[in-house]
Chains A and B, each alone.
Chain A
Amino acid sequence: MTKPTDCGCNEYRELSRRGFLGVAPGAALAAAAAAAAPAWVPRVALAKDHNSARDVLVNVFLRGGADAINMLVPAGDPDYYGSRPTIGVQSGDLIPLNGTTFYALCKPLAPLATAYNAGHLAFVPACGTGDPTRSHFDAQKFMEFGTPNQPASNIFSGWIGRHLQTTPPKGGPIRGVAISNTLPKALAGGPGVLPIRNPANFTLAGRAATADERTRALLELYETYPDPMGSAALDTVETIAILNQLDIANYQPANNAQYPTSAFGTALKSAAAMIRGDIGVEVIEVDRGGWDTHASQGTISGTMQALMDDLAQSLAAFYADISASHLSTTTVTVMSEFGRRCEENGSLGTDHGHAGMMMVLGGNILGGQVYGQWPGMGLQYRYNGLDLKTTTDYRLVLSEIVQKRLGNPQTAAVFPNYTAGSFLGIAQ
């Protein structure tokens, strides 16, 4: 056993290869702090240098093609109710938003109004990749790889992965965490990224008596192995040590934030614990599936209501939670692979469409506003006569976030073959 180290320096990775329990001294300090403090305190202070110039990014992907038209409702569009005679959200079920009479929130999203009215949540309707595909899987891939309209692309890394590649340090641990069973494509190629199903239970199973030696052996087994498995082994071992210090299972949210007990709510709660624990995590991805509402999607009751409830209540709890200490250093981006058809179908649902919507939340987001332009739902305004046109490229929004909030000027590397125009001015 090499001597433990509390190093927060550039050699962290190299040292921890030899002393993977390197955060142990932090545990002692934090345990002392915990004894004095009534509230939850992470058992580790700083696992490594936290670059305060960069926000922690929480990327939320709504898989399935969320029906943005019925979330941020364009009630002022004269063709809205005509396109959706049955599933259009009635005026009594709309939550007005400051600064706009054109848009309003569908009632289940009401919990988001707090962040919006506080100026911390922005909406970008009619936003998307602009790629013509209506395939979920291609659309997700293009959005996550950052390669829409590039059918011959041979890029297999994600935009978040490339952001991490182009910012120090070169390795892990725990630069990116996907609360997931598999690695989302957006994080592909990123140094120090791991999928973790449940960060509150990330421990090494087996005999405790041999845990240290088995850990050493595991590191040896993978030491010279190529990526993605080789680096994942070291990142896994180090992350086990870090998350063990953090004690997410006993996390107590701030401001009495009440997370839904859903998988999504629980994942955002773990995300908040990691952010408030200052463990150095830079990106956390949390996905929410189920948005492929071809049939019986409902308005303020039914499938869409359940989806929106979970999304809004979870995000609202997260917002309240991080507001205590980390609002100004956290940015949340929410996207979906495409929006849905302007017109409802015969199943009282909506088929795959084109433009969707982005939401951006954070202490340094110029929120309380709706950005971009509304293309119109009338037949003459539609993409291919069917769908909402894309008026804002999602890469424009993300380039601004990457540059201003993630402190990375290399947006051309993050989004190759794309030249961002003037930023929306959505972030400080």
Chain B
Amino acid sequence: MTSHVLSETEQRLADVVAHATRTRSRSSGVSRRGFLRVGAGTAAAAATLGLVAKPADAGMRRAIAAAGGATTDPKLTLVKRATQGFSLLDYALAHGLGYGGWLSYQINHTKIDDSAVNAMLAPLTTLTMTPQQLYDAVQNSSLTAGTIYRELAEATMVRSIHSPRQLFERMVEFWTNHFNIDWNDGAVRYMLPDFDRTVIRQHAMGYFPDMLKASAKHGAMLVYLDNNTNVVGRPQENYARELLELHTVGVDNGYTQTDVQELARALTGWTIENVRSGRLGTFRFNPRGHDTGAKTVMGLVIPPNQTGTDDGDQVIDYLAKHPNTAKFIATKLATWFLGENPVPAAINAIASTYTATGGHIPSMLRVVLSQPAIATATPKIRQPRGHLTSMFRSTLGQLAVGTNRTSIVNELTLLGQLPHRWPTPDGFPDDIASWGKALHPRWNFSARYCLNQVRIATVDVVSLLPLVQAATPGSQAWGINLILTGGTMSEEEQYTVQDFIDVHDGTAATIRDAFGLAGSAPSAQLY
């Protein structure tokens, strides 16, 4: 538990907002009407506790802001790093539960009720269809391939924005990048929803070696990296190379070109069922395509004439246990949560946990998100997708499921980041050098979203602002800052936003513009 001692007032406010959270969750949480009830709940609870009568209470203001990045509260950083976008409601919950309590709450994700989001996604029927079913439906024109993509992308975004299992969703995004597959690659399009469900979501909070093995035997990976055509005689190296370079030990980290070729031989015959089998994409071992000779991969000797998939299983198990894999996964996790160039101590601690637990992901999360590790976090730029989810989450916006013409895919296209569509197996870049100059799409999304011009979104920033201001007196810009970032915008940024409000008439449109501006500010791109 944290050593941070809440003042009595701070504790009471945390209770207030935690109460609001429960109210919101009971009232089906994610709807716009639910959001309005949050407001009512907050006000009522605040009145009960007598907080509204003391609007100038400095401790109260601190409770929302003080624990913020401008001060020393690690809970704000934790909430920002462990979610798909900052929200005062998450932050208040962290206040209520404490640092360790909130982290445990998120790590034990299966205990968090996700039924509201599942109900939202119920109309997206392609999510649970098998590759063969999707193929058949496209063949008989009851479905377009574009719909498969749209529903997968929508589900990804709806879950990121609305699921209370925020850390889980953040890990889903992480592993989706780690095992990146471009939806737009031949038959992969029929297989990716199943991959998302049975590989990534199944194992995102489980054991890394299980996820690695599942990915190796999934049709989407076998097709995307061509191992389905890797046969004895003239093996092909695509999957073997990326298995080493991107999935396990890391680039040129202890292997040679010969190791790549030997690994490719070990994986010959790993292929998929075809359409005519009625089980498109299901893993199939083809004994006639397998090279039964002896192989040596990074020092692992594979004897000749093993049966079935033993060669590949053996080498994947070996790679999963390799210390370079522990280090590589640890480095990626540390970079994901703590920022570019994480400190070696954090990497080493995660790698040790990987080795000690056999790649148990929740155990690694407890290390990388521990208070000492979070204390070393450096500012990160949100990817465009993260900027979108962050705007929704912070303003309690509602993302609806759309149609092929109106879906969130259109916004993601403009933002320049379509989930499941990064073409190469390395996954989306996650650095400021790649994204830091692409401000224009973020500005435009922020402005249009806050004006309610994003067709499948509903947001009411104008009603939200007074709710927060009632709890914490200050300028409008201060309130906007609290809502969007938890209070980490600079004073200069707030002056600019307030100036904009002041020279206008203070109408609702001005407030919307001001939210859009604040969402465009440099601090709002970072987390």
Contact = CB atoms under 8 A, between A and B. Distances in A.
Q: Are A and B interaction partners?
A: yes
B503 A213 contact: yes
Interface string B416-436: 110000011010010011111
Contact of B437 (A183, A217, A345, A346): A183
Nearest to B513: A210
B229 interface: yes
A339 B245 CA distance: 19
B513 A206 contact: yes
10 contacts: A134-B257, A156-B433, A182-B416, A207-B451, A207-B513, A214-B513, A289-B424, A345-B234, A347-B236, A348-B229
Nearest to B236: A345
Interface residues of A, number: 60
B424 A236 contact: no
Given A138-B251, A206-B513, A182 B234 contact: no
Contact of B447 (A214, A229, A348): A214
* Highest count of chain B CB atoms <10 Å: which of A240, A292, A344, A347: A347
B266 to A, nearest CB: 15
Nearest to A226: B522
Interface string B488-527: 0000110011011001100001100100110011100100
A221 B493 contact: yes
Given A138-B252, A217-B497, A351-B236, 17 more contacts: A63-B424, A156-B433, A183-B436, A183-B437, A193-B437, A204-B443, A205-B448, A206-B513, A207-B509, A224-B492, A225-B522, A229-B381, A230-B522, A232-B436, A236-B439, A294-B236, A295-B236
A229 B439 contact: yes
A232 B252 contact: no
A217 B241 contact: no
B522 A232 contact: no
Contacts of B4: none
Contacts of A266: none
A381 B289 CA distance: 31
B286 interface: no
B234 A346 contact: yes
Nearest 6 CB-CB pairings of A with B: A181-B416, A346-B234, A206-B447, A228-B436, A347-B229, A205-B444
A124 interface: no
Interface in A120-160: 133-138, 156
B176 interface: no
Contact of A292 (B231, B234, B424, B443): B424
Contacts of B279: none
Contact of A204 (B236, B245, B444): B444
Interface string A341-381: 00111111101100000000000000000000000000000
B384 to A, nearest CB: 8
B237 interface: yes
B438 interface: yes
A343 B236 CA distance: 11
B434 A182 contact: yes
Classify chain B's interface size: 35 or more
B235 interface: yes
A177 B232 CA distance: 46
Contacts of A26: none
Q: Which one of B236, B237, B241, B440 has the highest number of Cβ atoms from chain A below 10 Å of its Cβ?
A: B440
A232 B236 contact: no
B496 A217 contact: yes
Most chain A beta-carbon neighbours within 10 Å: one of B231, B241, B433: B433
B234 A64 contact: no
Contacts of B448: 205-206
B466 interface: no
Given A206-B444, A218-B517, A221-B520, A183 B434 contact: yes
Given A136-B424, A214-B447, A188 B238 contact: no
Contacts of A193: 437
B34 interface: no
Interface of B: 225-226, 229-238, 241, 245, 251-252, 257, 260, 381, 384, 414, 416-417, 423-424, 426, 429, 432-441, 443-445, 447-448, 451, 453, 492-493, 496-497, 499-500, 503-504, 509-510, 513, 516-517, 520-522, 525
Interface of A: 63-64, 133-138, 156, 181-183, 185, 188, 193-197, 202, 204-207, 210, 213-214, 217-218, 220-222, 224-225, 227-230, 232-233, 235-236, 240, 289-290, 292, 294-296, 343-349, 351-352, 384, 386
Contacts of B245: 135, 137
A156 B340 CA distance: 14
A294 B447 contact: no
B381 to A, nearest CB: 8
A25 to B, nearest CB: 25
Nearest to A346: B234
A343 B234 CA distance: 9
Contacts of A227: 436
Contacts of B423: 63, 289-290
B433 A236 contact: no
Nearest to B524: A221
Name which of A156, A221, A224, A227 has the most chain B CB atoms within 10 A of its CB: A221
B500 A133 contact: no
Given A218-B443, A240-B440, A346-B235, A210 B521 contact: no
A296 B238 CA distance: 13
B86 to A, nearest CB: 18
Given A229-B436, A292-B424, A218 B226 contact: no
